[in-house]
Chain A
Amino acid sequence: MGSLCISTMDGLIISRSSSTEPRREHSVDEPLLTVSTGKSLRPSPNGVTITTFSTSSLDSPSGILDCLRASPSQETVVQCLQLLDSTFNIRTPSPLSSQITKVLLETTLPDFWHVLDRKQRALLARCLASPTGLGGLAAMLKALISPARDKAGGEAMGLRENLGDLLDLLQMVVARRSFLHEVWALIEKESEIKRNIVWKEFTALMGSGRLLSVAAEAEMVFGRPPPDQKQRWIGDGKLYASWLGRGVAEVCLHADIMEDAPWKSLSQMLSAAFRLGYNDSVVEGLVQILITPTDESIRLQKIVTSLPVHDKRSYMLALLRVISTNLRSHIKHDDHDAWWKHDATRVSGAAALLEKFLLHDDDFQSLIQEWITSSTGGGIGEPIALRRAIMAVISKNELAFCELSEKLLQQFGDQLWIKHTPIVRQEVNVQILLLCAGIAHRHAPSFMARLARSSAFLSGVSNRLSASSHRARFLGMVVGECFSSLVDKEETMQMSFGTEGMETAEGKWWKSIPMVDDKIGELKDLFSTPAAVVKKRKPTPPASSVTTTTAIQVIEESSSEDEFTPYAAPDSDPEDASDEDATTISRNKPSAPVYIRQLISYLHATESYDKQLLALEHASSLIRRKATSGKELASHLPDLLSIFAGIDNRFDIPAFDELRTAALVSLVATSPEQAGPWLAAQFFTGDYGLVQRATLLTAIGMGARELAGLSPPPTISAPQLPGKSHSIWSAPAPAHDLRSITASLKSMLLTPLAAKAADQLTGPSVLKIRTFSSRLAVEKNRAAPVHRKILDVVASAFFFPLVGGWWVSARDFGGKQVQAQPELLSLMVQTLAVLIHAAGPAAPRGMEMARECLEMVVGMLPAAAGEQRVLDALLLAALTVLEVGIEAADGPRRVAEELGELVVQVKGWAETAVEVGEEDTRALAAGVLVKIAEVEEGYRRILMGALGVLGMDE
């Protein structure tokens, strides 16, 4: 019986896909009929004969089939549908039901879809809510796609119309929350063999993407509606996956927990769903239904434990991501020691969820351990709360915990690992290690003591201290001090490096990680909101509003004669512009925003041109004004950032881009610690277009330059000369986009080199009055620049979030991320160059930034060879790094020592670029070579040593 059904479905599919004219087929199918009603109701060839069947002929499915084929009237069709829906079950697979399905799709749908009302449509959809129905729908879509795409003119229009109807129907069929559940209930009744076969077929259709791919293609041919007015999601992978996840969860809710069969089938569906490629959405949908305060997680556990190992892995990774989005908190961790307490409940809730899998399934256990130590795992870019939850769970399994701690410690101290792993990954490793140490200290002091005395720890710390990267050293010191403070009781015995970095807020934060004590809580804790931080609210100072005096308000004169003392003018009484036409004056002109809150409300008023324009015009200056007083800006910063990052130019405001960039720049310049990392993170993870992403980068770069004092902040509402005279007399506007900044940077870097080269060409230096002394000597005597604000923030707020984000996205998308587009990539590298240049030679962690930047350059150079813009940007970045590095105190030596091998690699690439590149590229490459030569001048031996090492490595 089962095989019969499948063959019928296949037959259906084949016959549909081989034919493009659905209406001619009726007669071909006729012989399959087994029931004759005795009435010869053959429709006339054009099918206009409308026959009304007596109800008696509709007493069996075959009667209905007959009736549907014979051009029935609308009432008859509705009657048939009602019968099919209630009395006869055509959802269970059988030859007759597939025939009826076919007629419904081929005849009834195109004929009646447009005249059926919503209820009747739903009736039709219910009749098709079966594996057979869906299979038929998919096959029909598939058959329609290519003619609809290839044919032109009116016919294609008709086909497309058809396609749209089909998609609507399909959406209607599946869109119910209980759809999967109903189908499962249908299939469950069958015998086991038949059930397996039908379910397998259904799984392949729904899960593995056959339906999705057909629907998506059909949507494409039909012409996608604009995203905001989209009614159908059936062709949208992400939404589809999320729906499927929810559907599976829904079935789970109703399945019998004691039996195995349903869970096995559901796992099949789930693992098929993972083939869709939207794992996060699937798991999110699943978790949404099953992880609720009323604990249904046992069902979730049941379904995932029967998954194959590989799918368990997909599931776990997706689940971790889902959890981490749940744990992401916008509250910046404060300086005090109890920073972790505000979300402790949610972490313990997450731990409770993880515990259900990790502790009761060996596969998950090994997967999570692998994840923690693998090069891409550890949750780079995710909040520390995720790692806290995981560690809280792992600490329950003593053996695994010890094993993991040792592995982490070993990784921590591995010289090669230190040298070649991105810093963000190392930070994650250290965070987990410190969490481990805290747990060990509380639960197994002896194990902790053993760890702290182990050679792995001691050699690890010393390897770290000898590392070239400042950050790597810092992390080493953190771990060293933490371990020692946990193990050594006496204060004098405790390790203390006493360096500056350890006493900063950041150092203290790191050192407080072992104090974190998370428990496995209740699942419902995951839904709690973080403990509210009670803040005393200061009354906002009254804004200095613009008071315009009215035309006549003479006080002095009026004293003697006038018996009336004038009242003060009201807070705002704007005069009409003198040249305005009295009939067209807009009465309720919004006034300029004076509060951040007001600014935000104007920005949200997307329907009002006046408000948007005013908000944009005043945003920059208002933000700068508010930056120095009160907490108004700080409390609205995330809102402002997201608004400006995503705002649309709805009204074609001419200076829109400049104004928006200016607003973002002012945010970066006024609160770099928050805005910088946020913008960097959004650049990588936000849902933005190319231009918007570019703006984010521009804002970072220009904000940094402003902080560095390289470009002045815009003058706030200085009075201007009228139009033309202003353009004559005012100074040229400073460059306000990143491209022109990079251009000027380039010429600034290259011009002295060219001058020097020209100088050398004119003759031996001895003959000249003033020799162009060696740059090496001059730069050494240069005093370090005075402290600028940029020095505090450039690394932590701008540079490393960008670089770290790059590594994360490169890991996640493997070079296919949107940031790898040449436009954005070159812009990003240019931004890094601008940042390094803005930070200048005196920046703390300068060498480290130089190192990360060069590593990135070296990593990208091979791929960039064909892409002019990227190559230029990379060479510019290398040039900037070298220039800034050489300028630093004792620069050339440190460059040679610490960046030696990278420099040698860059040199190789620059040499090729000089030979083959375009004019600009060659100039840049030559510049790089000159700079490298400067380094070589004094420290050839060290460089050669690096080359030797490199040679040996290869």
Chain B
Amino acid sequence: MSQPKPLPPPPQPAYILRGHTSPIHALAFLRHNTLLLTADANGICVLWTLHTRRPLAVWAAHKSSVLAVAEWRPIDPASTESRIITHGRDHKIYVWRLPSPADDVPTVLPVDSGGEVTGKSPWLVAALSVNALNFCGFGFCLDDDQNVEGKEYQDALVAVPAALESAAVDIFSLPSTHRVHARIQSQSTTGMAMALSLRWVKGVLTLIAGYESGHVSIFSYRSGTWTEVHSSKPHTQPVLGLAAAPGNEWFLTTSADSLIVRHSLGQEGMDLVRDTKHAGLQGLAVRGDAKIFAMAGWDGKYRVWSAGKMKELAVLKWHRVGCYAVAFAEILDAVAGSEISQTEALVTNGDAGEVVRSGYEGALGALTVEQARIRRETSKHWLAGGAKDGKVSLWEIY
């Protein structure tokens, strides 16, 4: 075997988005990577245009720290609309319509306004009062209701800790805000639920929950009842991060200890435990192709690992304080051009105050400089991370 090739130098961030004045607690790429949503400990959300790195909308979504954010996509992939779900510690889950320029949502960043954010918020679609006495973000999936005639959006299910007891989990339906399942609870003494994931595994609604005690449980909904299919206690500290592979083959958990655990779904059980030697792994995200995943560590570094061999690939060091959230951009290689160009249209003509829906020729024929730029930017393999210092770092990796 030849000499091992010298390793590429440690990666450096491609860009730092400085907008928040308090720690970033959640972030997500939206609309096929054209937008980045970041939310901080003051409840303020900022929607960034990725290719200009400028804010598109800034609003105070919650009165207190935001726990989780997610995108609720419309059924029609060509639609330019989308919804944002945010979950705050002010006991609320809000569903917002993606702000359009006509909504007149301010774009002044908290750093420029001294931390105060006033002005209009985007349109609120639904609001749900929940228990947020813990730190558990909601688990989210779309309902498999086939009857979508005339609907723009499929109904969504969100899993949150139950109102009376944080160890149990309730599932609500959105936008109706009805509670569809109640008190899903583990057999063992687990303490509060800390991380939830709601998924359809082989057509079965499955809830994965990580607990304060370090327990991880899998519940399945079969024939009208919830059963705890599997429970284990891989962590010694509260579970902080939980992310499943897109194909539902496995899921990962991290906690305040230094372990990263891969659990199989299907034939349940733990299959791999690795010690990262760096305690406090809060954020966890798996990339769309399920090949790599990333963790945000309290030591101020993001760690990128390969999902197959569970090996460390890169340590992203830039922040000097603890990192709380991490997210991967979608891998867009296979996405149809029309979809992108629609969003392009939304973004490029945003300033003019109206949405131009005639961007098709842009995708088919010659691209304008800006369109080319958007395409280039959105097709990059981004990783975004948010830290305690209120800064969001963008990395281009693998």
Task: Give a binary string over A555-594; 1 marks a CB under 8 Å from any B CB, 0 the rest.
Answer: 1101101111111111101011010101101011000000
Is B274's CB under 8 angstroms from A568's CB?
no
Interfacial residues of chain A within 577-615, with CB under 8 A of chain B in the complex: 578, 580, 582-583, 585, 587-588
How distant is A563 from chain B, measured CB to nearest CB, in Å? 7
Is B9's CB under 8 angstroms from A568's CB?
yes
Q: Is A552 an interface residue (CB 8 A)?
A: yes
How distant is B236 from chain A, measured CB to nearest CB, in Å? 7
Interfacial residues of chain B within 1-48, with CB under 8 A of chain A in the complex: 1, 4-5, 7-11
How distant is A666 from chain B, measured CB to nearest CB, in Å? 31
Is A566's CB under 8 angstroms from B321's CB?
no
In the complex, what distance in Å separates the CA atom of A585 from the CA atom of B279? 8
User: Closest chain B residue to A580 by CB distance?
Assistant: B279
Choose among A558, A570, A578 the residue that contacts B301 (Cβ–Cβ < 8 A): A570
Known contacts: A550-B315, A562-B306. The answer to whether A567 contacts B11 by CB under 8 A is yes
Which residues does chain A contribute within 8 Å of B5, judged by CB atoms? Answer: 565
Q: Is B345 an interface residue (CB 8 A)?
A: no
Which residues does chain B contribute within 8 Å of A553, judged by CB atoms? Answer: 311-312
Which residues does chain B contribute within 8 Å of A565, judged by CB atoms? Answer: 5, 7-8, 313
Is B10's CB under 8 angstroms from A568's CB?
yes
User: Closest chain A residue to B257 by CB distance?
Assistant: A582
* Stretch binding the partner chain, chosen from B59-67, B164-172, B184-192, B291-299: B291-299
Choose among A550, A554, A562 the residue that contacts B277 (Cβ–Cβ < 8 A): A550
Task: Give a binary string over B255-286; 1 marks a CB under 8 Å from any A CB, 0 the rest.
Answer: 01110000000000000001111111000000
Known contacts: A552-B274, A564-B398, A587-B322. The answer to whether A576 contacts B314 by CB under 8 A is no
Q: Is A551 an interface residue (CB 8 A)?
A: yes
Known contacts: A551-B277, A582-B256. The answer to whether A587 contacts B298 by CB under 8 A is yes
Is B315's CB under 8 angstroms from A564's CB?
no
4 more A-B residue pairs beyond the given contacts A562-B308, A582-B256, with a C-beta to C-beta distance below 8 A: A552-B274, A565-B313, A585-B279, A587-B280
Q: Which size bracket describes the interface of B in this complex?
A: 35 or more
- Give the dominant DSSP class at B's interface: loop
Shortest Cβ-Cβ A-B pairs, 7 listed = A570-B317, A582-B279, A567-B314, A568-B7, A575-B277, A570-B10, A555-B4
Q: Interface size on A (CB < 8 Å)?
A: 30
Q: Counting chain B CB atoms within 10 Å of each CB, which of A556, A570, A578 scores highest?
A: A570
How distant is A605 from chain B, measured CB to nearest CB, in Å? 16
Q: Is B309 an interface residue (CB 8 A)?
A: yes
Which residues does chain A contribute within 8 Å of B314, judged by CB atoms? Answer: 566-567
In the complex, what distance in Å separates the CA atom of A564 from the CA atom of B237? 31
Is B312's CB under 8 angstroms from A564's CB?
no
Interfacial residues of chain B within 314-358, with CB under 8 A of chain A in the complex: 314-315, 317, 320-322
Q: Counting chain B CB atoms within 10 Å of each CB, which of A565, A573, A583, A588 scores highest?
A: A573
Which residues does chain A contribute within 8 Å of B322, judged by CB atoms? Answer: 587
Q: Pull 22 A–B residue pairs with CB atoms less than 8 Å apart, ordered by A.
A: A551-B277, A554-B311, A555-B4, A558-B311, A559-B1, A561-B309, A564-B292, A564-B306, A564-B398, A566-B311, A566-B314, A567-B11, A567-B313, A569-B10, A573-B278, A573-B301, A576-B278, A585-B298, A587-B280, A587-B299, A587-B321, A588-B321
Q: Is B300 an interface residue (CB 8 A)?
A: yes
Which residues does chain B contribute within 8 Å of A561, judged by CB atoms? Answer: 308-309
Known contacts: A569-B315, A576-B279. The answer to whether A583 contacts B256 by CB under 8 A is yes
Which residues does chain B contribute within 8 Å of A563, judged by CB atoms? Answer: 291
Known contacts: A562-B309, A582-B256. The answer to whether A556 contacts B299 by CB under 8 A is no
Is A551's CB under 8 angstroms from B315's CB?
no
Which residues does chain A contribute within 8 Å of B1, judged by CB atoms? Answer: 556, 559
Which residues does chain A contribute within 8 Å of B8, judged by CB atoms? Answer: 565, 567-568
Is A567's CB under 8 angstroms from B291's CB?
no
Which residues does chain A contribute within 8 Å of B306, judged by CB atoms? Answer: 562, 564
In the complex, what distance in Å separates the CA atom of A833 from the CA atom of B306? 67
In the complex, what distance in Å separates the CA atom of A575 from the CA atom of B315? 13
In the complex, what distance in Å separates the CA atom of A583 from the CA atom of B320? 19
In the complex, what distance in Å separates the CA atom of A556 from the CA atom of B2? 9
Which residues does chain B contribute within 8 Å of A576, judged by CB atoms? Answer: 258, 277-279
In the complex, what distance in Å separates the CA atom of A564 from the CA atom of B8? 11
Is A582's CB under 8 angstroms from B237's CB?
yes
Choose among B274, B279, B320 the residue that contacts A588 (Cβ–Cβ < 8 A): B320
Is B279's CB under 8 angstroms from A573's CB?
no
In the complex, what distance in Å separates the CA atom of A554 from the CA atom of B312? 9
Which residues does chain B contribute within 8 Å of A568, judged by CB atoms? Answer: 7-10
Choose among B7, B298, B312 the residue that contacts A551 (Cβ–Cβ < 8 A): B312
How distant is A51 from chain B, measured CB to nearest CB, in Å? 55
How distant is A545 from chain B, measured CB to nearest CB, in Å? 13
